[in-house]
Structure 1
Amino acid sequence: MNPVKRDLTVLLTAPRGFCAGVDRAIEIVERALEKFGAPVFVRHEIVHNDHVVGRLRDMGAVFIDELEEAPDDRPVIFSAHGVPKSVPAEAEQRNMIFVDATCPLVSKVHVETERHSTQGLEILLIGHAGHPEVVGTMGQLPDGEIKLIETEEDAEKFEPQDPDKLAYVTQTTLSVDDTAAIVGILQRRFPNISMPHKEDICYATTNRQEAVKAIAPRAQALIVIGAETSSNSKRLVEVGERHGCRFAVLAAEAAHVDWDKLESVKPDTVGVTAGASAPEHLVQEVVEALKARYNVTVETIETAKEDVTFKIPRLLTA
């Protein structure tokens, strides 16, 4: 005799999953394969998700770590996270066909750094060392021109060359709350620091964090679908924990969720969301896995509507 399933409310956040920059990057690879045929080379993961990368690999995309691994006579695509200026410069020198899939919101940060540099300002980048986006942004200027600030402690200790000639930019996928704390320290210490004209943290990162904040007071547990390498997905877990979820976990897919640990929390309400590079079918697989274990009622909590789209490069639309 089958045991009676416990009742469980699943709070499904909206928005969740793919953002406009991820949609654009994936479409760029798909269109390049249609136009040029396989193989098309992609420098680094186009977005941080193994399922997305695997599907594109099956279609004929070849993912490489550095440009030197690509032949001169095949197209190459740069990932959504952005690349140092040296990379397209090398591609041009080799007369390669290349397409830049950098998210336009990351490109905006690149433009800001150049503007600050031409104004003679010392530039701080708030971000995580080693993340591809940070590597790309710091690579817009010569080595040493951009200083990385990772923590509140870094912000307290930093000593500028001139406190009145200082500017900051940020990685686009950070925690809104953590970044605000760091910015607050910089503004207290350096009142004349130049700020971005518009917030650098992207709309999708902000929206997904706000959605988690909205469900956290009701949910004893939170499942975030996303890759371990995805900065914005990791931040969603942190936001959930900070706002009261006893069990907040990042899982690449349903099979990676520790279901026994979830059950040990004895939740009556579980939140489900996805980072900006996680496809929707993975979310639905988690919902189905919950339905197999519980008597589930799904409630969608919508905190924002997203209608942002970004243009595809002209090379692929002609």
Structure 2
Amino acid sequence: MDGQLDRRAELSEFLRSRRARLKPEDVGLPSYGRHRRVPGLRREELAQLAGMSVAYYTRLEQGNGRNVSTEVLDSIARALRLSDAEHAHLMHLVKPVRRKRKQTARPQQVRVGLLQLLDSIETVPAYVSGRRSDILAWNRMAAALFGDWGELPPQERNWARLVFLNPEYRERYVDWDQKASDIVSFLRMDAGRYPDDPQMSTLVGELSMKSEEFRRLWATHDVKEKGHGTKRMRHPLVGELTLAYETFHLPDDPDQALITYHAEPGSPSAEALRLLGSWAADARHPEAPSSTLRQD
């Protein structure tokens, strides 16, 4: 790719994809059944719902987002029934965060205090994620659960590369398809925020060339913010675990988040985590990770 994503094309394709998923009956409009030539809503139907002219909406869907007001974007978001994440993504595509190239290329750093916090968390896997789904720092329990990322080159410590290009992670996740979809949705949000980030463009280009599954998911234009939920893991030593994860966005750096995993007290997964913790604490155990904390 040429160093940055095409913001006009991203805006156009996102609006088309959201319009295509709506049926007239979803928004209270009459349906003409088999006589409809296009899936989803027509442009004129969407414009009517958003309270604007067809010509004006058409210009926006063609990627011309200059001078569009927040009120207009809010109307379109309501008409398209966008989620909060999709609404934010639309705003980013039209009014992206402008950062100098040096800022987006600068290595991401984790505060010393946060590194110390990670190192003090002894029973819960925890790590810090940054832009482009980069893995910036982690504790010993995260290394025990996910594998020691310190053994990987820095550029490979990235969730998207691990999930789509590392066969081991396809085995680690029982619901790999959902994990893959989530990662692509997170990347889409980042790409909308920083369309001029050359490293994002390089990452998307690499994954698009090497993974057909990534290309398919990227083309859906789905977006999502990191949040909370459960993941089913398959660990080579302790078997399957069901773990709840929580995401804590940092107030002084919105690009970074602390993610933790925990098991329901008294559950088999809690016992499995306890075993992993005991192995991680014993540096003499052959399967124990080699360090408590890494950041490069």
TM interval, short-chain normalised: under 0.3
Higher helix share: 2
TM-score, normalization by structure 2: 0.27
